């Protein structure tokens, strides 16, 4: 539980940093109206997406809802894990996508959805599948769709404010309204760097939520072994089998489709590097039971 608590604190801090960046831009341009307009435009589409994210994602994946009769083992596994997490049974969907993956969506636990792909069902054994489903249940339990939406709203507002500054001017002016060279340079840097900074913070929030879902998912499944094995398979196969999806939906999946390497590129990832996730799970397992890692 320490891992979950640590990531919750980290997420709160990153959201605060993102909000502070947005308010700081508003203060620099000296326009409350611009700040409000940026929030209205930057957040409007994201809020709409929040309420319809499940329908959009499921339609993109050509997913169909499955019943207990159609997939009894998967249904009962999901139902059992949901009961352990203390949330309603999410709706189950199946996508014909050959790449092994899964995602959770829905604006709150009452509207939760778990979707699995054909590739996942074919490649995972029962223990691995349980680890994957537990991870997705943890996302629903943590209300990660809401957290991601808040981050996206603020990041979108920052991008819109920067766009307004570029096209309509703002910042870099003295009391008489004359342009200041240093101020103009600062405004230009803000226009370029602020959206990048906002995106980096948004990606960091997404990675933090993945670590938290891994930790809670391992606890729900009764141990991290299945999830660790599943992550290794998913990392390998998703680099072999491409999945063409909207980049805005990549954060929803248990592993990021068509993943890249670490290093600086890691800053722009919605998911942590898989080996780091596995290392965290092993660290958690060792802390709970010093003999388990052996």
**What SS3 class is residue 95?**
strand
Residues 6+ apart with CB under 8 A from 180: 172, 173, 174
pTM score of the predicted model: 0.77
Please give the residue that has the higher pLDDT: either 223 or 156. Answer: 223
pLDDT score, position 39 = 59
266 is catalytic: no
Give the integer Cα–Cα distance in Å for 293 and 124: 22
pLDDT digits (tens, 9 = 90+) for 50-108: 677 678 788 889 999 999 999 999 999 999 999 999 999 999 999 999 999 999 988 78
Sign of torsion over alpha carbons 24, 26, 29, 30: negative
Q: How confident is the model at residue 238 (pLDDT cuts 50, 70, 90)?
A: confident
Q: How confident is the model at residue 221 (pLDDT cuts 50, 70, 90)?
A: very high
Q: Which of 97, 128, 130, 136 is catalytic?
A: 136
Residue at token pair 């398979």: 233
pLDDT score, position 200 = 83
Count each helix (H run) and each strand (E run) in the chain, helices first. 9, 4
Structure token pair of residue 102: 């899964």
pLDDT at 180 over 50: no
- Cα angle at 43 between 40 and 46, to 5 degrees? 145
DSSP string, 182-243: HHHHHHHHHHHHHHHHHHHHHHHHHHHHHHHHHHHHHHHHTSSHHHHHHHHHHHHHHHHS--
Average pLDDT, the chain: 78
Percent helix, strand, coil in the chain, to 5, is 70, 5, 25
Give the integer Cα–Cα distance in Å for 252 and 249: 6
Pair 99, 91: CB distance under 8 Å? no
Pair 252, 54: CB distance under 8 Å? no
Structure token pair of residue 195: 């959206």
Classify residue 125 as exposed, middle or buried by CB count within 10 Å of its CB (0-12, 13-18, 19+): exposed
What is the mean predicted confidence (pLDDT) over 23-39? 59
pLDDT digits (tens, 9 = 90+) for 240-270: 888 877 776 778 899 988 644 444 455 678 8
pLDDT at 29 over 60: no
Residue at token pair 């596995």: 278
Percentage of the chain exceeding pLDDT 70: 64
What is the mean predicted confidence (pLDDT) over 42-48? 60
2, 54, 62, 274, 287 from 6: Cα distances, Å: 6, 28, 36, 19, 15
pLDDT score, position 289 = 59
pLDDT digits (tens, 9 = 90+) for 153-168: 677 667 666 666 656 5
């Amino acid at each position: 539980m320490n891992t979950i608590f640590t990531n919750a604190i980290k997420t709160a801090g990153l959201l605060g940093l993102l909000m502070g960046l947005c308010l700081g831009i508003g203060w620099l341009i000296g326009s409350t109206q611009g700040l409000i307009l940026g929030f209205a435009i930057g957040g409007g589409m994201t809020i709409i997406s929040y309420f319809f994210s499940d329908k959009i994602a499921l339609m993109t994946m050509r997913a169909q809802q499955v019943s207990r009769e159609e997939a009894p083992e998967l249904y009962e596994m999901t139902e059992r894990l949901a009961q352990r997490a203390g949330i309603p049974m999410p709706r189950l969907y199946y996508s014909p996508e050959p790449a092994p993956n899964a995602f959770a969506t829905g604006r709150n636990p009452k509207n939760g959805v778990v979707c699995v792909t054909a590739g996942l069902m074919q490649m995972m054994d029962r223990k691995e599948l349980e680890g994957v489903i537990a991870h997705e249940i943890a996302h629903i339990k943590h209300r990660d769709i809401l957290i991601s939406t808040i981050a996206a709203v603020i990041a979108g507002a920052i991008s819109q404010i920067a766009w307004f500054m570029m096209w309509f001017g703002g910042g870099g002016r003295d009391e008489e309204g004359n342009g200041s060279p240093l101020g103009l340079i600062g405004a230009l840097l803000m226009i370029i760097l602020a959206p990048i900074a906002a995106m980096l913070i948004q990606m960091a929030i997404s990675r933090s939520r993945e670590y938290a879902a891994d930790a809670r998912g391992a606890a729900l499944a009764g141990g991290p072994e299945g999830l660790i094995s599943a992550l290794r398979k998913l990392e390998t196969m998703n680099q072999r089998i491409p999945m063409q999806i909207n980049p805005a939906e990549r954060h929803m999946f248990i592993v990021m489709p068509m993943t890249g390497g670490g290093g600086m590129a890691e800053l722009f990832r919605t998911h942590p590097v898989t080996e780091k996730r596995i290392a965290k799970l092993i660290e958690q397992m060792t802390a709970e039971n010093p003999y388990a890692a052996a």
